[in-house]
Amino acid sequence: MTPRFATDVITFYHPDFWGLDSADAVRDWALAHPVAFWERVLAALAESGVTGIELTFAPGDIASAVRAFGGAAAFRRELAARGLSVVSAFVADGAAPDWRDEAGLPAIVADAERRAAFLAEAGAGILVAGLPMRRTFGTRPPFFVDAAYMNRMAAVAHAVGEAVARHGVRLALHTESNSTLWYERDIDLFMALTDPQYVWLCPDSCHIALGGGDPVAVARRHAPRIALAHWKDAVAPIDVHLTVDETVYSRQQPYMAELGQGTVDWRGWAAAMSRTPGAGTVLIELDEAPDPVSALRTGTAVARAAITAAAHALPRPTPTTPVAP
């Protein structure tokens, strides 16, 4: 099976791509000109040869698509006219309720259902979410990611997963750096506590590596539950305790790399991904690429080579000898 290639809208957020001087300027311009923003993003996607897109935080979010095109069905038509489609949406914006708010479960579920309804109408089937962030190491009182915490998160994930499943959408949890689903142990514990019929995984090869983990080993262990994966490279594990605040995402970026420029074993990753339910989509994630078209072409070339190499390395089925009657 030949997979489709996709990317997250964040790939197009670099100020250089827009001729602007800051990320804030990009966001403000895009919010004021949603149609122009999307037209350029979709044109660049088509030029790169990538056909799928993951919505994310503003300005490339669900609300922006609605402002630009009027709704999910119209957005779907605009994409289809260019040979494109929505793959997923990442719940990564400030409008989403906090999963740590135990009294806020109805609001959390309602928010997820709204997003799932949009995705279903737009022709997509995956809602990607992350667990809450850790606190800065050394903060008092300490915040422990223990069994009690993970049981609470599992209960929220079950409620959300069941709600979005009614729209034909899968909930997949993303392994974000400095979140409570970052280390291999976090992932294993959370997946053990959740029902595989309602809760799926979206492993990010870069973020797992930044936590000192082995992305390929994680993918192999949890292959049956991987609905989607983010293909991104890492320079090296984060070797310091970053301050976990609104700046943590930008301070993680120096540890990230374009595909083929870092430490991820792409052939091993491709082989593991080929055995997952999400094998049909390869989502190349390139945070804020100055030249996204070129970066996506390079990334898809690396991914294609890894997929080909992994396919050739897989053991071939042993022919069976017919038994004489």
Looking up residue 28, the CATH number of its domain turns out to be: 3.20.20.150
Residue 270 lies in a domain: yes
**319 within some domain:** no
What's the confidence (pLDDT) of residue 184?
Answer: 98
Burial 296-325 (b: 16+ CB within 10 A, else e): bbbbbebbeebbeebeeeeeeeeeeeeeee
Interhelix angle 72-80/34-48, rounded to 10 degrees, is 40
Q: Is residue 325 part of a domain?
A: no
Angle between helices 147-165 and 184-193 (to 10 degrees): 60
Q: What whole-number distance in Å separates Cα of residue 283 and Cα of residue 229?
A: 6
Alpha carbon distance 97, 79 (integer Å): 29
Query: Does residue 307 lie within any of the structural domains?
Result: yes
Contact 211, 237 (CB under 8 A): yes
What pLDDT does residue 103 have?
Answer: 82
**Residue 247 contacts by C-beta under 8 Å, 6 or more apart in sequence?**
none
How many domains does the structure of the chain reveal? 1
- Report if residue 86 sits inside a domain: yes
Tokens coding 238: 């984060």
Q: Return per-residue pLDDT of the chain as tens, 325 residues.
A: 689 999 999 999 999 999 999 999 999 999 999 999 999 999 999 999 999 999 999 999 999 999 999 999 999 999 999 999 999 999 976 678 999 988 899 999 999 999 999 999 999 999 999 999 999 999 999 999 999 999 999 999 999 999 999 999 999 999 999 999 999 999 999 999 999 999 999 999 999 999 999 999 999 999 999 999 999 999 999 989 999 988 888 888 888 998 999 999 999 999 999 999 999 999 999 888 999 999 999 999 999 999 999 998 855 444 444 444 4
Task: Please report the pLDDT score of residue 315 as a whole number.
Answer: 57
Please give the Cα distance from 57 to 31 (Å, whole number). Answer: 12
Domain span at 294: 4-313
| Beta carbons of 234 and 200 less than 8 angstroms apart | no
Q: Looking at residue 325, what is its pLDDT?
A: 40
Residue 313 is predicted with a pLDDT of: 80
* Residue 11 included in any domain: yes
pLDDT at position 314, please?
Answer: 55
Please name every residue paired with 89 in a beta bridge, in sequence order, or none if there are none: 55, 127
User: What residues are paired with 126 via a beta bridge?
Assistant: 88, 170
Domain membership flag for residue 321: no
pTM here is: 0.93
Instruction: Say how far apart CA 101 and CA 276 lie, in whole Å.
Output: 33
